[in-house]
Amino acid sequence: MNGFYPIFKRELLAYFRSPVAYVFIIIFLAANAGCTFFLGNFYDSQQASLEIFFLFHPWLYLFLIPAVGMRLWSEERRSGTAELLLTFPVRLTTTVFAKFFAAWVFIGIALMLTFPMVLTVYFLGSPDNGPIITGYLGSFLMAGSYLAIASCTSALTKNQVISFILSVNICLVLVLLGWGVLGDTLNSVFPVWISDFVSQFSFTTHYEAIRRGVIDLRDIIYFVSIIVIMLMLNVVVLESHKAS
Amino acid sequence: MSSSLSKNFNNFLAVDQVSFEVQKGEVLGFLGPNGAGKSTTMKMLTCFIPPSSGTAEICGFSILENPLEVRNQIGYLPESAPSYDEMLVGEFLSFVAEIRGFSGKELKRRVSIVVDMTSLREVENQMIETLSKGFRQRTSLAQALIHDPPVLILDEPTDGLDPNQKHEVRTLIKNMSEDRTILISTHILEEVDAVCTRAMIISEGRVVGYGTPDELMSQSLYRNSVTVSVNAEDHIPLMNDFNKLDFVYSVEHLPGETSGTGYYAFVPTK
């Protein structure tokens, strides 16, 4: 893993050197609060829990995470720094993972800044700690999966807009596969196992389980494998760009 | 260091069996117009892109089998000197030194050496984005030198510099060449003359000339030729007379700007 740390550090720093970090964090926090209090009617639920807060994360991430990830490789390729970065004595896999982890940690920081929500529910009542902890864990893992997809699509093109649109669409499909409406439609035509099978591929299905406070190894393996597969694909995309 | 490389991009043969050998202490210049395949050859040598066929060996390491070790041996200045705009010059150089495996005092010492070598002291704490072209170019050059590599590959190192800076960089390259192998690409003829011990002329992906700068010049038809400006209405009798001179191999007539003037290029017999 030679070279992992300096690349990780530079990448993370790059977020905070540009307005991207601040704009993202502000919008992320505002959107979270907006969804929880207005769309989710947090106060009407009369519950001291973060269930409503976590409920909207798959939809929020759909736009916010590709916005963070779209520059990962497009920017390097557009500005020519890819030629510098990829001629250092570092394995391509290491570079891809280092850049990914930097962006993931950045999203983790934004997620941690939602701590006033936790304080709010503790102030309002005595919430169950379990679902709060697993909710954050699930949300962070899911964010990683979105990000790995965005990283991979960003390697496909020099154009950040194309990279953004591609990853939003791929993520949307993975969210919708577990959407209740789709499941009902499938059930009306096919046997139930088909919709069960299809929903196993979805972010939502696995995220729901974790966010309810159940840590099942299968859900964690799902997110980790999406991350690993997408990043390996990312390596392949970069390799094939170099060859042609 | 030796190579024999070809590269095609979607049926376009960008580099066609470019073969050469360079020893320590030599500066080899790639000379050719834009799009001739100079940069592509360099990208293959630095393992940025794989060759379609052929291979190269750098310090005993093959670019196909041992790319990481090859990259350890090379300091590379890519064309148009890309670097991370949002970083400070010193920070960027420290980043590169860290990737190259240095840390602590050694890292600081290395950064300090290259900053002095490339005269970057005054902009060390300046953001790369705000630098002039000359400083950017030198920052990128400093980055290539940080691990004191036995092989330097510099893609148009003096591009965009003013004449003074060009001179400085050339002197720097010359001074470094004693215990190193250096490859530079350029489309400026005088640069080859100024720094290279050998030059390779590349055109449309092919090597069309290879030798010391003097050898290459002696191959030229126009070596030692003389151009004379003459006021004359009719150039045909003049040409006939010129051709009769026994030291003249051939004469070419180049029309002047106004009628009645003309230039005559005399190519001497050997």
pLDDT tens sequence across B195-224: 899 988 888 888 888 888 777 777 776 777
Count of domains in chain B? Answer: 2
Contacts of range B165-169, beta carbons closer than 8 Å, 24 or more positions apart: B165/B134, B165/B137, B165/B138, B166/B191, B168/B119, B169/B137, B169/B138, B169/B141
- Complex ipTM value: 0.86
CB contacts under 8 A, A 93-152 vs B, are: none
Instruction: Among A4, A20, A84, A240, pick the best mutation site for testing chain B contact (most B Cβ within 10 A).
Output: A84
Say whether pLDDT at A199 is over 90. Answer: no
Residue in chain B closest to A79 (alpha carbons) equals B82
Say whether pLDDT at A156 is over 70. Answer: yes
Same domain, B74 and B91: yes
CB atoms near residue B104 (< 10 Å) = 7
- Inspect the interface and report whether the beta carbons of A243 and B95 lie closer than 8 Å: no
Q: How far is CA B211 from the centre of its chain?
A: 15
Same domain, B130 and B153: yes
Distance from CA of A83 to the nearest CA of B (A): 7
How large is the average pLDDT for residues A1-18? 90
Residue finishing a domain among B200, B218, B236: B218
The string of DSSP codes covering chain B is: -EEEEEEEETTEEEEEEEEEE--TT-EEEEE--TTSSHHHHHHHHTTSS--SEEEEEETTEETTT-HHHHHHHEEEE-TT----TTSBHHHHHHHHHHHTT--HHHHHHHHHHHHHHTT-GGGTTSBGGG--HHHHHHHHHHHHHTT--SEEEEESTTTT--HHHHHHHHHHHHHHGGGSEEEEEES-HHHHHHH-SEEEEEETTEEEEEE-HHHHHHT-TTTT-EEEEEE-S-HHHHHHHHHHSTTEEEEEEEE-SSTTEEEEEEEEP-
CA distance B246 to B2: 45
Distance from CA of A72 to the nearest CA of B (A): 13
Name the residue range of residue B74's domain. 2-218
Same domain, B182 and B134: yes
Same domain, B207 and B232: no
Same domain, B29 and B101: yes
Same domain, B85 and B116: yes
pLDDT digits (tens, 9 = 90+) for A45-97: 777 778 888 888 999 999 999 999 998 999 898 899 999 999 999 999 999 99
- Inspect the interface and report whether the beta carbons of A87 and B87 lie closer than 8 Å: no
pTM of the predicted model, to two decimals? Answer: 0.86
- Inspect the interface and report whether the beta carbons of B101 and A2 lie closer than 8 Å: yes
- A190–chain B Cβ distance below 8 A for any pair: no
CB atoms near residue B204 (< 10 Å) = 14
- A170–chain B Cβ distance below 8 A for any pair: no
What pLDDT score was predicted for residue A43? 77
Cβ atoms of A127 and A121 closer than 8 Å: yes
Same domain, B233 and B146: no
- Report the residue from B48, B76, B82 with minimal CB separation from A81: B82
Q: Which residues of A touch B86 (CB under 8 A)?
A: 14, 17-18
Same domain, B18 and B149: yes
Say whether pLDDT at B267 is over 90. Answer: no
Say whether pLDDT at B17 is over 90. Answer: no
Instruction: Among B6, B99, B147, pick the best mutation site for testing chain A contact (most A Cβ within 10 A).
Output: B99
Same domain, B80 and B181: yes
Same domain, B139 and B34: yes
How large is the average pLDDT for residues B43-55? 89
Higher per-residue pLDDT: B2 or B241: B241
What pLDDT score was predicted for residue A5? 95
A224: which residues sit within 8 A by CB, 6+ positions away? A141
CB contacts under 8 A, B 128-157 vs A, are: 143
Beta bridge partners of B209: B201
- Report the residue from A6, A90, A243 with minimal CB separation from B95: A6
CB atoms near residue B269 (< 10 Å) = 9
- Confidence class for position A242, pLDDT limits 50, 70, 90: confident
Name the phi and psi angles at B207, rounded to 5: -80, 120
Residue in chain A closest to B72 (alpha carbons) equals A89
Same domain, B40 and B56: yes
- Report the residue from B50, B72, B76 with minimal CB separation from A242: B50
pLDDT digits (tens, 9 = 90+) for A95-105: 999 999 999 99
Same domain, B212 and B243: no
Residue in chain B closest to A1 (alpha carbons) equals B99
From residue B196, give the alpha-carbon distance in Å to each of B87, B104, B127, B211.
33, 36, 33, 10
